[in-house]
Amino acid sequence: MTATESINLRISNEEKTLIDQAARSMGKSRTAFILENTLRIAEEVILDRTRFTLDSKQWDELNAALDNTPSEEQARGLGKLFTAKAPW
């Protein structure tokens, strides 16, 4: 992927020193270190919001809802959801 955008942020000298030390310890540039770790965390945040667990009652309720024909509004929402590009 070709980088075409930039992000600027202000940090303290202590924060910059810590990031630089961590990046050096991994043999990476500051930019590579920040980008790699930020992208990893961003994916985790998004994935944490796409996985869920249900107890047996909730599972039965979900299946009952899925067995029903969606309303027109629900169908439009589902269409939008299924055609949306994943943010990562």
How many domains would you assign to the chain? 1
Average pLDDT over every residue of 66-76 = 92
For the cut 90, the answer to whether the pLDDT of residue 23 exceeds it is yes
Residue 25 lies in a domain: yes
Rounded Cα distance between 22 and 33, Å, is 8
Residue 8 lies in a domain: no
Average pLDDT over every residue of 48-63 = 89
What phi and psi values does residue 66 have, to the nearest 5 degrees? Answer: -70, -30
Residue 88 lies in a domain: no
Residue 41 lies in a domain: yes
C-alpha distances (whole Å) from 56 to each of 48, 50, 51, 82 are 21, 19, 16, 27
Domain limits for position 58: 13-83
Place of tokens 């930019």: 31
For residue 88, the model assigns a pLDDT of: 65
